[in-house]
Amino acid sequence: MLRFTAENYDVDAICDALLNGDGVVAISGLYSDADVAEARRIIMEHSDGDDQKPTHFQGAAAEDGKLNLQRRVWNLLAKGDVYGQMASHPVLMEILRKWLGTEFIMGSLAANRILPGGPGQEPHVDYPYWDFHSPETHPIGMNGSFPMNAQVSIILDPFTEASGATGYVAGSQRELRYPTEADDFYGKCSQMTGEVGDVVLFYGVMWHCAMPNNSDHDRSAILINYLPKWVKPIEDMHIGLPDGFFDDATPELRQLMGFNYPYPKALDESAGGNEEGRK
């Protein structure tokens, strides 16, 4: 996994690594300690209860009665200004404009907290490929040769091998396929280790999963899903936001929330005129 900093990151090298190389890079130094601490504090507060939120790729944990050791906090935009700021960091915007097209959007802004003893996930690929175990539900000939996804993990607790840093098989994004038992994921995988505040950026066609937390501390991360402008988000990104939330929002956050590409639209109820075309 190539590692960059806020000072030496290289957009072309990163896009090449995501598409043709390992499929994942790390970038350190994007966020202040204070922002990372605030982000973690709010997530811990929202995940200290026993109420269960929806999760994914945790079928085995559900069978073993261990689902409560992996906790999701969804809809982070409504839970603190810090999350929108982190998701629209200028370095991420610059890289992702190149990777997903200039008008890319955000499909989910959530957290994944794995408590000590928490089991890992099933090896998988991410949205919109996440149900590629049923490829017949997708268009014929679909592949990963151009990206319809970027995943950012902002690390909030030490990501070590013991704590269950995300496992991945380098290069597996070069062929779009949902991994099977025969692929021997655990025999082949490396882990996205990192320090608090680091960002891991990967192409979600690459096989990966949260690994079991065998340490004595929590293992939390903010998980952000980014999409081209025309793929529909996973989360309903607009619920729970107070009226006027976007009045003072930055152009970057408005873009991430889909305001720049207003489809589907009630065309039958819009003012007439030519809306699309080179002229």
Ligand X SMILES: O=C(O)CCC(=O)C(=O)O
User: Which amino acid is residue 3, in one-letter code?
Assistant: R
Dihedral sign, Cα of residue 153, residue 158, residue 161, residue 164: negative
- To ligand X, the closest distance from the beta carbon of 126 in angstroms equals 5
Cβ atoms of 261 and 96 closer than 8 Å: no
Does position 98 interact with ligand X (CB under 6 A)? The reply is no
Does position 191 interact with ligand X (CB under 6 A)? The reply is no
- What residues numbered 117-176 form the site for Fe ion, per CB under 5 A? 126
Cβ atoms of 213 and 117 closer than 8 Å: yes
- To ligand X, the closest distance from the beta carbon of 101 in angstroms equals 22
Does position 22 interact with Fe ion (CB under 5 A)? The reply is no
From the centroid of its chain, how far is CA 272? 38
- To ligand X, the closest distance from the beta carbon of 111 in angstroms equals 9
Nearer to ligand X, 92 or 223 (CB): 223
Q: Out of ligand X, Fe ion, none, which partner does residue 40 contact, by CB within 5 to 8 A per kind?
A: none
Q: Out of ligand X, Fe ion, none, which partner does residue 56 contact, by CB within 5 to 8 A per kind?
A: ligand X
Q: Which residues contact 147 (CB under 8 A, 6 or more apart)?
A: 18, 19, 99, 100, 203, 205, 228
Does position 71 interact with ligand X (CB under 6 A)? The reply is no
**What region does 114 belong to: left with phi over 0, alpha with psi -120 to 50, or beta?**
beta
Interface ranges with ligand X (CB under 6 A): 56, 112, 126, 166, 208-210, 221, 223
**Residues at the interface with Fe ion (CB under 5 A):** 126
